[in-house]
Amino acid sequence: MFDLSSKVLAEEHYPLPERTQQTLEHALLNAIAQFIDSYQRKLRELIAISVILPGLVDPDSGKIHYMPHIQVENWGLVEALEERFKVTCFVGHDIRSLALAEHYFGASQDCEDSILVRVHRGTGAGIISNGRIFIGRNGNVGEIGHIQVEPLG
């Protein structure tokens, strides 16, 4: 949980081992509710909830079209979040969100153009151009990926 100056007020980590869209949504909403209950005293006014995920995320529609390791089909996560918590909600792509955080609060805050590359389970990039996140026409800019050419490589 952050305040509007990006100060961390509280942080928790919840395992989400679910493997279907429905069970993941249920577990995620319950984890957020548990977090809100746990930190109610620190929470003066909840103005928004944001969830960042890997895959093909449409921040305008609030839908997730693809996630690695979990089959999703036009998952309307924002709608589910707003219905449950009655606040404005957002979904975003994990690497693009990291790039935006660096742009606003971190190492690239004085740069109009930057790129953040993350190598983890997959490889992805978040691109900032003219001070704005670059998504591309199909929303898949920065999805670098990984192709195994050599079976043991």
Which pLDDT does position 79 carry in this prediction?
97
Residue bearing tokens 């979040």: 81
pLDDT, one tens digit per residue, over 87-116 is 999 999 999 999 999 999 999 999 999 999
21-133 maps to CATH 3.40.50.300: no
Q: Find the distance separating the first CA and the last CA of the chain, reported in whole Å.
A: 40
Taking a C-beta distance cutoff of 8 angstroms, is the pair 32, 77 a contact?
A: no
* Higher-pLDDT residue of 65, 147: 65
Paired tokens of 100:
């935006």
**Does 62 score more than 90 pLDDT?**
yes
Distance CA 109, CA 129 (A): 12
Distance CA 18, CA 22 (A): 9
The structure's pTM equals: 0.83
Paired tokens of 125:
């990039």
Across the chain, mean pLDDT equals: 90
Bridge partner residues of 126 (DSSP): 116
Residue bearing tokens 């395992």: 15
Distance CA 122, CA 144 (A): 8
Give me the phi and psi of 132, to 5 degrees please: -125, 150
**Does 10 score more than 70 pLDDT?**
yes
Taking a C-beta distance cutoff of 8 angstroms, is the pair 58, 43 a contact?
A: no
Q: Where are the domains of the chain?
A: 21-133
